[in-house]
């Protein structure tokens, strides 16, 4: 019976799809928690972002194991694994950003902070869009609108990142390390959107493969 279930309904494949669903949920949740942490300066929430990254890592490993145990046709496996890795990188980047913010002692100049919150808000929307794109891939609905939204939001973040730097260079920093951590924080925060965009591209590649 177990063999039949595995053979006819693709038990391993269903498990991989479920794991991906969880992975994308984690990205969405992690973006939301990070935004809340930034808005409330709550250390506990920042630690929660780090915890979510660990869960993401576990999911990526499980996906890899299932794919290499034979789930899906080989023509899909490479792209699916690359997708799992990229989604995991989003969670890594969120963790890095959270750690940078902890290193900054939860302190940001008001003008910079406001723009960073705007970036984090867009990241939240992109996280939701990414989940929507994956669900569209699952159901076979059109992806174009969702991926277009993701690309537009990513460009919005690029513009914001440049504006943050324009403001940043006018500010005084106490020492090299404060400047470096601040710069890393902004780069990491903005890079989250690039990774979300990369994941959306992979979803689009998956959608046209095998056709």
CB atoms near residue 38 (< 10 Å): 23
Q: Looking at 76, 104, 106, 168, which residue binds another protein (CB under 8 A)? A: 76
**Strand runs labelled E in the chain:** none
Verify binding: residue 75, another protein, rule CB under 8 A.
Answer: yes
The residue written with tokens 């699916």 in the block is: 80
Q: If binding is defined by CB under 8 A, does position 209 make contact with another protein?
A: yes
- 31 and 192 Cβ atoms separated by less than 8 Å: yes
Q: How far apart are CA 109 and CA 186, in angstroms?
A: 13
142 belongs to the binding site for another protein (CB under 8 A) = no
170 makes contact with another protein (CB under 8 A): no
Binding pattern to another protein, positions 81-120, x when CB under 8 A? ----------------------------------------
Told to check if 10 binds another protein by CB under 8 A, we report yes
Q: At 181, which helix (H) or strand (E)?
A: helix 176-208
Q: What is the DSSP letter of 171?
A: S
Contact footprint for another protein (CB under 8 A): 10, 13, 17, 70, 72-76, 137-140, 206-207, 209-211
């Amino acid at each position: 019976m177990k063999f039949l279930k595995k053979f006819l309904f693709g038990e391993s494949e269903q498990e991989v799809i479920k794991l991906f669903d969880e992975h994308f949920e984690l990205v969405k949740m992690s973006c939301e928690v990070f935004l809340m942490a930034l808005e409330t300066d709550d250390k506990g929430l920042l630690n929660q972002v780090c915890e979510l990254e660990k869960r993401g890592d576990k999911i990526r490993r499980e996906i890899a194991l299932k794919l290499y145990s034979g789930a899906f046709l080989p023509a899909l496996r490479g792209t699916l694994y690359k997708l799992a890795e990229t989604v995991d990188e989003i969670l890594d980047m969120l963790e890095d950003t959270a750690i940078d913010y902890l290193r900054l002692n939860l302190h940001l100049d008001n003008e910079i902070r406001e723009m960073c919150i705007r970036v984090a808000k867009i990241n939240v929307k992109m996280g939701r869009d990414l989940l929507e794109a994956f669900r569209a891939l699952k159901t076979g609905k059109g992806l174009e609108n969702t991926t277009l939204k993701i690309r537009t939001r990513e460009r919005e973040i690029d513009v914001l990142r440049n504006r943050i730097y324009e403001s940043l260079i006018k500010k005084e920093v106490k020492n090299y390390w404060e400047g470096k951590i601040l710069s890393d924080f902004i780069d990491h925060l903005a890079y989250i959107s690039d990774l979300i965009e990369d994941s959306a591209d992979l979803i689009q590649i998956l959608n046209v493969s095998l056709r």
